[in-house]
Structure 1
Amino acid sequence: MDREDLTALLTSETMRLLDEFADLATTRDALGAVTSLRKAGVDARTSAAILTQLKLRRKAKAKFGDFAGRMLFTEDGLAQATRLQVAAHHGNRFRAAEVRRIADLGCGIGADAMTFAALGFDVVAVEMDEVTAAIATHNLAPFPNAEVRHARAEDIDLAEFDGVFLDPARRTAREGSTEHGASRRLADPADWSPSLDFAFGTMGEDAARAVGVKLGPAIPHELLPDDGEAQWVSVGGELVECAVWLGPAAREGVRRSVLSIRDGKSNELSARTSADEAVDAPVGDLGEWLHEPDPAIIRARFIGDLARQLGGRMIAPEIAWITTDESATSPFAQSFRVLEQFKLDKQVLKRELKARGIGTLEIKVRGVDLDPAAFRKQLALKGDASATLICTRVGDRRVALLAERA
């Protein structure tokens, strides 16, 4: 979105039209809406801005629920915005640290700032991009305890704040591409804007300020500070962030932790006193049950902790599958009962799946080079039955395990 699009959007008439066409849901509706907007005398730029916002609002419901219906978005802003239930977790961190006034540096469209304000904090949301700052101003308008400043994070005097939240931008597309088009691995604190050195330093010389830094979940472990708490968060089985908590926002003795939010419930696994990852459990024979760790467990390197919690063992070195002889459950794993074991061979599997009438097949791949979508087509599935096929390694063998979800 550019400045002209924003100007077209921020009028009372455009806001009225957004409400009027709020139920727009299909391409056919969109074509009809364009015709209706043109008949009403709406110019092409404003029509495009309205249709884009309606599309983004529908998409935003997954993150914001009913709140999406009054918010404004940019494509990038929505993609980077924190889900409401995760933002509420951020706010509760500051509440536990007895914070009263928060600077949200790099606020984007204002998702976290909205939640902080709703929880009763005084919030100053700072955004260096002019258009995004204007969008945040609209989204935060219902909250008298929130204000937006168009500025660089580094230019804000933090003396008036006892809490700081940052979401540094990752410099990948423009500065991090390689000659093959792939992004390089971010390995320098300056690869973020503001830099990680700045972000981690905002708690002040006496470490009295509570600080939260939202980072991508793929952040290299070696870039994380040793004196704070790093927490990997997943929502509904999707890994969404690694948040670093510093000063009073970091819990005593906790250096690495995992938070899983699923079906409205939150569960946590913590590693205390040390930033080191858990030692993997020993490798052993395949049991009747397989357990797939939550992606936050895998990224935080807590697989060994989870295996011991389940009373299980690994099926192969560096393969994130845990096996047990008896049924076991955990909010940090999906469990499968192993029905049969086959050689990982296309012809063998075509024959065996056909004999069982399996026409719907979920394929999970870990530790072997295989494209699930392409492999599914090659199997020429027919039938009414369904199953899960786990393609992996057991010891040094490539296997295909026919399984059913617990």
Structure 2
Amino acid sequence: MGYGFSREDVAFLGSASGAAALAEVERLELTPATHLRDLERVRREYAGFAAALIETVRLRRKAGAKLRDAGAWLFTDDALQQATPTLVARHRAGRLAGRSVHDVTCSIGAELAELARVCPAVLGSDLDDVRLAIAAHNLAALRYVPAAASSPLPSTATPRNVLLARADALRPVSVGTVVIADPARRADGRRTHDPAKLQPPLPDLLTAYAGRDIAVKCAPGLDFGRLDWSGEIEVVSLDGVVREACLWSPGLTDPGVTRRATVLSASGPAYELSDAESDEIPERGPGAWIIDPDGAVVRAGLVRHYAAKYGLWQLDPNIAYLTGDRVPDGMRGFRIVDRLELREKTLRQELARRDCGALEILVRGVDVDPDALRKRLKLRGAQPYTLVITRIGRTAAVFLCTAHRSIGDLAGV
């Protein structure tokens, strides 16, 4: 759960004295081995704010991998866990550029920071006074030129195009805005995939804003079969990890699109795919390569569409592995070296013959534990290989492969 911040904590941390104290605490190791010594030192110097200082430094160190330009931000542990990664929030803001937006679950302001760059008017609301205070601090800590301004804002000011308010997400307080919501995904202390158990409940949220343009951020594993949703479901991944699914109401999506996969990368270009594109692919045997599509493509149910776009086809119509004679630019592929039987003795002998050492095992459609199999194979060689274990029809298929990444811009293929 982490430390429970108070308004007094936020006021101190946001002051000049708090900033100086945080700079001092930042110099400490704050590791499990030094925890007691560091805590005693901070308590001696900063008394009642010691826990808030240590927790803030700890959270800032964690936040760097998720949030950009947030080195001076404040957090709570729960809020940081749920905060949208900067590149994902920036992508969503890009879809809403030029619109007035109301984030009805704004929390500590991760979405607001990106919306403020491209939207003329942004309202952020939450029921948690502490998170609202933190959001005000975080927005003031950013220096940028928002869409409605002609010069950078002073570092102590909330952007002029952002207003914060205390409000219940289920009681609309704005008109004429696009609504953004990010319901909490835990119920009774445990992560839930039931839309009705989110906070606020997703069905209630959609009812409260019926007829409005709305985008709702959800966990990618949410059971969307329990929803009667006529808009778009966009599944977003970042650096190979599926981060979220976002519900977009019909007024915020392209005609004919009900599912979209968006693949983002911190080091390269993004690409998108939707069910409005063709899914016509040939039925052929294995090609020279096996391609494992990005998780966003798989979760969005767009494997065939991806294959059609990049000249691939499926090994099996019910399995997400694709095959072809080339690897799409920027993607990782596995060149087929041999096809083997799923027998451990045969695999052990063949891998030993090929001097296999490091072995990556990918499995779909077959009940095999990759870690347990790898241990039983007892490999001691020097050559790296990848083993793709899957099913073609009713038969298990094992492909011995070498892994490669195609160089290029996937978005330009």
The two structures have a TM-score, normalised by structure 2, of 0.81
**TM-aligned CA distance change 1:4 to 1:393, over 3 Å:** closer
Aligned counterpart for 2:388 among listed residues 390, 399, 402 = 390
CA offsets 1:333-352 (integer angstroms, 9 cap, x no match): 53211112222233333333
Checking the alignment, whether the CA contact within 8 Å between 2:355 and 2:383 is kept in structure 1 is yes
1:53 — aligned with what? 56
- State the distance in 1 between where 2:193 and 2:213 align: 29
Contact 1:140 1:147 in 2 (8 A): no
Structure 1 position 162 matched with structure 2 position 180? no
User: Is 2:360 aligned against 1:344?
Assistant: no
Residues 289 and 323, structure 1, Cα contact 8 Å, conserved in 2:
yes
The amino acid that maps onto 2:276 is: R
- Choose from 42, 59, 63 the match for 1:37: 42
Is the Cα contact below 8 Å between 2:237 and 2:262 reproduced in 1? yes
* Residue 71 (1) aligns with residue 39 (2): no
Query: How many residues of Structure 1 are paired with residues of Structure 2 in the alignment?
Result: 381
Cα deviations by residue, 1:27-79 (Å, 9 ceiling, x for unpaired) = 266566435424x4333x633332222222122112213x2311112222112
**Among 232, 235, 242, the residue aligned to 1:232:** 235
**1:249 aligned partner:** 252
Q: Which residue of 1 aligns with 2:353?
A: 355
Pick closer, same or farther for the CA change 1:346–1:56 going to 2, 3 Å: farther
CA distance in 2, matches of 1:301, 1:321: 13
Q: How far is 1:153 from its partner?
A: 0.7
2:289 alignment partner AA: W
Deviation string 1:224-252 (CA, Å, 9 cap, x unpaired) is 55542221111111111111222542223
SS at match of 2:270: strand
Q: Which residue of 1 aligns with 2:314?
A: 314
Q: Secondary structure at the match of 1:155?
A: coil
For the 8 Å contact 1:3–1:131, the answer to whether it is kept is no
Three-state SS of the structure 2 residue aligned to 1:254 is coil
Paired letter, 2:163: E
1:190 aligns with 2:185: no
Residues 164 and 253 (structure 1), Cα distance of their counterparts in 2 relative to 1, 3 Å cut? same
8 A contact 1:24–1:54 mirrored in 2: no
Secondary structure of the equivalent of 1:305? helix
Q: Structure 1 residues 388 and 221 mapped into 2: Cα distance closer, same or farther (>3 Å)?
A: same
Residue 376 (structure 2) aligns with:
378
SS of aligned partner of 2:217: strand
Output the amino acid matched with 1:165. Answer: I
1:301 to partner: Cα distance: 0.6
Q: Where does the alignment leave 5 or more consecutive residues of structure 2 unmatched?
A: 142-157, 405-413
User: How far apart, in 2, do the equivalents of 1:280 and 1:272 lie?
Assistant: 12
CA distance in 2, matches of 1:252, 1:23: 54
The DSSP-based 3-state class of the residue aligned with 1:63 is coil
Q: Secondary structure at the match of 1:153?
A: coil
Correspondence for 1:90 among 73, 89, 92? 92
Alignment of 1:268 with 2:277, yes or no, is no
Partner of 1:21: 25
- Once the two structures are superposed, what CA deviation does each residue of 1:229-285 show, in whole Å capped at 9, x if it has no partner? 221111111111111222542223322211111223111112239xxxx86856642
- Contact 2:66/2:85 (8 A) holds in 1: yes
Amino acid of the structure 2 residue aligned with 1:403: C
What per-residue deviation string (whole Å, max 9, x for no partner) do you get for residues 182-212 of structure 1? x7752xx53333333444356654xxx5322
What amino acid maps onto 1:108 in structure 2?
A: S
Deviation at 1:123, TM superposition (A): 2.1
- 1:129 partner letter: D
> Secondary structure of 2:122's match?
strand
C-alpha distance in 2 between matches for 1:23 and 1:68: 18
Structure 2: distance between partners of 1:74 and 1:308 = 44
For residues 128-162 of structure 1, what are the alpha-carbon distances to aligned partners after superposition, in whole Å with 9 as ceiling and x for unaligned?
23433333232223433323323311223222x42
TM-score (structure 1 length as normaliser): 0.83
**Paired AA for residue 20 in structure 1:** E
SS in 1 for 2:65: helix
SS, match of residue 285 in structure 1: coil
Cα contact 2:363–2:370 (8 A) shared by 1:
yes
Pair 1:283–1:149, CA change in 2 (3 A)? same
CA contact (8 A) 2:3 2:77 kept: no
- Unaligned stretches of 5+ in structure 1? 178-182
153 and 395 in structure 1: CA distance in 2 versus 1, 3 angstrom threshold: same
